[in-house]
Amino acid sequence: MVKRCFDLIVSLLVTAFILSWLLPLIGFLIRLESKGPILFVQLRSGINGRPFPCLKFRTMKHQKNASFKQATQNDVRVTRIGRILRKTNLDELPQVLNVIAGHMSIVGPRPHPIPLDIQYLPLIPEYRERFRTKPGITGLAQAKGLRGETSELNQMRHRVRYDIWYTKYSSLLLDIKICWWTVEKMIKGDKNAW
């Protein structure tokens, strides 16, 4: 109950005071550089593995019916404005609407695209533990720099360890710390954000 209140208060404040003016501004910049929708909607796994439509600002050139492929460093699909949005985590900002809808929390394990879940579920026995809590806009693994492409099994294993630790020991104080660490990463930049 405390976590849901925290989620709603933060999400409503961000929506009212930031997203309300930033959405049209970023939307204009996205459309100025490339045709296509402003928001990118992708099915991702939520609590108990249930899929939900995850919202992001579109950071890549629009390709209708494109198949899933993780973004890589210097990916030619990423637009100029997209690079800035991804580097600063601003591409995730529309997910406050997912939080209001109850699909996500402010803090939790980051939701992976469903093809990644399918790839790693049989390879990492504890992977399913990530689904015990709602996914988050930010998470402990992300705040500790574990983001970007997971081209090697050990990269995903390391990320999952942080996610599972979070699901066992989550608290309001930990959520506030993770939010702070995430803001620090946004300001300082993250070498794994591309």
Q: Are 148 and 193 in contact (CB under 8 A)?
A: yes
Residue 8's contacts (CB-CB under 8 Å, 6 or more residues apart) are 99, 100
Look at residue 158 in the predicted model and tell me its pLDDT.
94
Look at residue 170 in the predicted model and tell me its pLDDT.
94
Beta bridge partners of 158: none
CA distances from residue 92 to 22, 30, 161, 166 in whole angstroms, order as listed? 12, 14, 22, 20
pLDDT tens digits, one per residue of 80-131:
999 999 988 899 999 999 999 999 999 999 999 999 999 999 999 999 999 9
Instruction: Quote the radius of gyration of the chain (alpha carbons, Å).
Output: 16
Look at residue 72 in the predicted model and tell me its pLDDT.
73
